Structure 1
Amino acid sequence: MKMILSLASIISLLAIIIPVAHGGKVLVFPHDGSHWVNMKVLVEELHSRGHIVTVIRAADSWYISETSPHYSTVTVDIAGGASEDFYRLFVSEVIKIKRSQGSVWARFALDMELKEKFSELHKKVCEMVVYMLENQELIKSFQDAKYDAVLTDPANGGGVILAHYLRLPLVFNARWTVHGEAHFAIAPSPLSYVPLPPSELTDQMTFLERVKNILFYTMRMHLYKQVAGPHYSALSNRYIGPDVDYFSLFQAADLWLMRVDFVFEFPRPTMPNVVYMGGFQCKPAKPLPQHLEEFVQSSGEHGVIIMSLGTLIGELPQDLANEIAAAFAKLPQKVIWRYKGERPDTLGKNTLLIDWMPQNDLLGHSKIKLFISHGGTNGIYEAIYHGVPIVGIPIVFDQADNLSRLRAKGVAKVMDISELDRQTFQTAIQEVLNEPSHTLNMQRLSKLHRDQPMKPLDHALFWIEFVMRHKGAAHLRTESYRLPWYSYHSLDVMLFLLTVALLILALFVGLVWSCFRLCLKRKMKSD
């Protein structure tokens, strides 16, 4: 018996030691802000499996802590552009535009605001990369460390340039690239049934919607190139090569960890090096802090509504906050509202304002009836995981498109912030609460999302380690991005075949014409 216990102890000890002994080294170039929330999950899981993780951060980093038990940091002594002030001012400006303009003008104004602000952001990222690449001591330390892979978020191109410069395998934690939704960078995307985010279309489009999708695609791609192209082209020409298209560096990534699941995404073509890990940050709910548990339990049979518009939107214009608070005050449910602004004058006794909430744990509580959200990807997947329907108030970025997908699946009601007042807001809430289909549909999505052979996080980590073990995944990566556009679309083949067909037709016509003339001559002679 002692021998069996001793053997079990040895096996347990080996299970702990072996991952450390075979641990690799990962260099992480993240995108700051809310994107770091999900990158941090991967970083912590890599650390727990014995890997050494180094995170690059800018001096003005907002979310990324300089010290952590899970990773070491390289703080670059230059502003990265993605500071808290940058995002807060941008979102505040967006809210003003959406509330003051008509829909067509608002879309144009938002695009111009996006172009200006994100061109500035990408410029800052490129300045940070130049600062690093010109620091020979820093680059030598990266080379001497012998990293196994670079893990980055392609919402900015800093990690892409760095990985190619260091000649390291490249892994993306992706939903977006600098050119928009990530699938469009590598996978066939027929615009007849693949809607371009953020067009708010579905995979079942009418003729006019397909026209809109194509026009939207053309304009958006032009906008993205104007925003990112000048900055990353200059960087690529300087450090990678004058004949290298900067976006081909993105397309050459070994692995794309895609933060979507097909319970949310519409069916579409994909590629072998795309690994889906939508909802990888979700987990079972933990017990709530005592004061929150007491408040939740006090709701009785009516239950609780929670509201959070994400970290970027801590406060709202005072008149809008008053309208929301007034709508809450008329409801029989208790409300937990994450809000950092001035206390609304119309706040009811049923509403609890808090600076921060354990969102996942609240969504997993049996008393929660509804989630009022801005439509951020992390919150959406937590709602799907726990089966809680949504009232969405999109503000910026992909939020409107995310919520439109949930609306198409019958699990969400979406409101435009320009039309929000106490009456419309209360009506939207009651529609979702009183129509059981929203909850039933979300519970069905939750079952589909959870019914997988492997947890999304474990799936993602397997493939990161796969790339590290094999020094890349070139056998999964298409080389189609190297083709010129006319070859990719087989226009040269079609032109060749058309030319051959025309030559054959011309030869046939010439032969018929010769025969006709010969017959005509013979007839004239016989006459």
Structure 2
Amino acid sequence: MPLHCASGIFVLLSACLISFTPPCDGGNILVFPVDGSHWVNMKILLEELHARGHSITVIRPSNSWYIPEKSPLYTSLAFEVSEGFEDIVKAYMKEQMRVQREGGSALTFFKLTKEFFSVISKIHSTWSNALVQLLNDEKTMKSLMDSHYDLVLTDPCIAQGLVLAKYLKLPTVLNVRWITSGDGHFEIAPSPLSYIPVPGSGLTDNMNFIQRVKNMFFYSIIVFQQKFVVGPAYDALCEKYIEGGCDIISLLREADIWLFRSDFVFDFPRPTMPNVIYIGGFQCKPAQPLPADLEDFVQSSGEHGVIIMTLGTLVDALPKQVADEIASVFAKMPQKVIWRHKGERPTTLGNNTLIVDWMPQKDLLGHPQTKVFVAHGGTNGVQEAIYHGVPVLGIPLFFDQFDNLLRLQDRGGAKIINLSDVHSFEQGINEMLHQDSYRQNMQKLSRLHRNQPVSPIDQAIFWVEYVMRHRGALHLRTEAYKVAWYSYYSLDVLLLLLTAATVMLLSTLAMFRFLCCRSRRTTKTKQH
């Protein structure tokens, strides 16, 4: 049988196995999400799980930003948080933009790092204290115990869901891209720093010696962050409520399935593990028709097309000077512009630019008139741009955004500019509009991403139900993390072999020395 035929049959059988696997009978799922754009991803999973007849309970902060108290998808359980996730992150975002405008000096880097550590510590401490209150609520905890959940589905960007799952002794499924200290791969899969870039390093998987030194430096920052910034926020919590104690890294490694919001069309190739399921772009769908007024505006662009711009849910407004500079660039262009901007209306705004509070981003990206996507580089937006094949002009602001855009730039589908260098904005826009390579590269990525035997969302639901059917997935979980570091790297074996080789070498030398000395004594005796 020809190789391509055998391969085709294998793919078809694989698709059939997932498509026709019997659904899990009415599972009972406890969900501990993270607010903001992370909830957008989680909600898509919940919609699919609800459609399959599963019962869902969502634990949400009472002052939640995005997560509604009442929903046809789930019942909710509220707990008190002293300060909302939105408030903390927005305050950090404003400071981040202010410091970035100072330029790219070493002092700026240390200011940004210090501020980042401060906000991370505050987020984890705030939510850790909130979980303590929840665990101390006897009525609520009894209700959770009596509900006999099949698993906990959580986003480990904040670790409270992991701790709660451990307390309830339930299997855990992670809806994950980032963990408490960066890319989740680094905690469960072999991650050689020689070719796997650390988040924040600004590196690709092709590094020279100096870049590998830089990569090691950034890795040390992540280790420091986990050990001295994030870890202490959970130490007392784990010691008091978890039998035998725990730490966040061990809880991550004990998770049954990692639904990883990435894939190797987007990310750099690297070692992985059998319980990591790649669902990058699972939220992407074909574009729907635009509202009539927006469609009229888009069509009025004619052959020039449309540029769309949004900097995500956290950025209501750019600094006024930056907004005015961007608006003046847009005003010169023949394209129409749709810009999500909720701040003060720029004084330089042109007639070709439509300011909106909200835009149907997926549908605009899928519209044939859309030429360029100006974005901050959030995971959702980047993956939707890949799905629809639209080149991206990136203005990263914080967290994972630069790393996301870097991967697209390395593949020729994006260009990154810094907020402190908005004077290059016009050059970047024109380059993306007039160099066909950007669109061609993004369309190639789109074809690669769509060419899968099973859709990412179907993969995700299959593995959630898999954990429910089998009460976990221990057989897919490595035990390597329980091995001492010197055993993991076989340093003890190497020491033994070096010791044995050294003993053999010294023994051989001693034998030769003994024989030589004996030969000399014999010769001297004969001469006498």
**Contact 1:179–1:225 (8 Å) recurs in 2:** no
Report the Cα distance in structure 1 between the residues aligned to 2:458 and 2:512, rounded to whole angstroms. Answer: 70
CA distance in 1 between counterparts of 2:286 and 2:23 reads 27
Match of 1:186 among 180, 185, 188: 188
What is the SS of the residue equivalent to 1:420?
Answer: helix
Matched, 1:459 2:469: no
Q: Which amino acid aligns with 2:493?
A: V
The answer for the alignment partner of 1:77 in structure 2 is 80
Task: Identify which of 291, 294, 311 aligns with 1:292.
Answer: 294
Question: Is the 2:163–2:251 contact (alpha carbons within 8 Å) kept by the matching residues of 1?
Answer: yes
Matched letter for residue 338 of structure 2: I
Pairing partner for 1:156 from 132, 155, 158: 158
Residue 134 of structure 1: how far off its partner (Å): 1.6
Task: Measure the CA separation in 1 of the matches of 2:409 and 2:209.
Answer: 21
Indicate yes or no: 2:425 matched with 1:425.
Answer: yes
Q: Within 2, Cα distance between the matches of 1:184 and 1:21?
A: 32
2:348 is aligned with what amino acid? T
The alignment-based identity, stated in percent, is: 53
CA distance in 1, matches of 2:256, 2:192: 23
Q: 2:238 aligns with which of 222, 236, 239?
A: 236
Whole-angstrom distance in 2 between the partners of 1:358 and 1:158: 32
Tell me how far 1:103 sits from its aligned partner: 3.0
How far the C-alpha of 1:84 sits from its partner, in A, is 2.3
For residue 133 of structure 1, what is the aligned residue in structure 2? 135
CA RMSD of aligned residues (A): 1.4
Aligned partners of 2:350 and 2:339: how far apart in 1?
Answer: 12
Distance 1:218 1:466 in 2: 37
> TM-score w.r.t. structure 2 length?
0.94
Q: 1:47 to 1:243 in 2, by over 3 A?
A: closer
1:264 maps to 266
**1:55/1:74 contact within 8 Å kept:** yes
In 1, Cα distance between the equivalents of 2:177 and 2:462? Answer: 19
Report if the CA contact (8 A) 1:32-1:82 is conserved: no
- SS of the aligned residue for 1:522 comes to helix
1:8 is aligned to: none
| CA distance in structure 2 between the aligned counterparts of 1:36 and 1:278, rounded to whole angstroms | 16
Three-state SS of the structure 1 residue aligned to 2:101 is helix
Which residue in the other structure is 2:13 paired with? none
Q: Whole-Å Cα distance in 2 between the matches of residues 146 and 225 of structure 1? A: 34
2:11 matched to which residue of 1? none
Structure 1 counterpart of 2:8: none
The answer (yes or no) to whether the contact 2:30–2:149 under 8 Å persists in 1 is yes
1:374-395 alpha-carbon deviations (Å, 9 max, x no partner): 0000000110000100100000
Distance 2:432 2:84 in 1: 36
Q: Distance in 1 between matches of 2:110 and 2:167?
A: 37
User: In the comparison of the two structures, how many residue pairs are matched?
Assistant: 507
> Taking structure 1 as reference, are residues 396 and 464 closer, same or farther at Cα in structure 2, changes over 3 Å only?
same
Matches within 5 A, 1:37-56: 37-56=40-59
Q: Which residue of the other structure, out of 166, 171, 180, is the alignment partner of 2:173?
A: 171
The structural deviation recorded for 1:234 is 2.2
- Could you say what secondary structure the match of 2:31 adopts? strand
For the residues of structure 2 that align with 1:258 and 1:310, how far apart are their CA atoms?
A: 21
Contact 2:90 2:315 in 1 (8 A): yes
Structure 2 counterpart of 1:502: 502
Specify the alignment match of 1:337 in structure 2: 339
Deviation of 1:21 (Å): 8.4
Q: CA separation of 1:432/1:67 partners in 2, compared to 1, >3 Å: closer, same or farther?
A: same
Shift of 1:370: 0.6
SS in 1 for 2:454: coil
Tell me, in whole angstroms, the C-alpha distance in 2 between the residues paired with 1:63 and 1:272: 33
Of 46, 57, 60, which residue of structure 2 is paired with 1:57? 60
- Report the 3-state secondary structure (helix = DSSP H, G, I; strand = E; otherwise coil) of the residue aligned with 1:113: helix
Secondary structure, aligned partner of 2:124: helix
Task: Determine the C-alpha separation between the residues in 2 that align with 1:84 and 1:110.
Answer: 19
* Consecutive unaligned residues in structure 2, runs of 5 or more: 1-20
User: Contact 1:198–1:400 at 8 Å: present in 2 too?
Assistant: yes
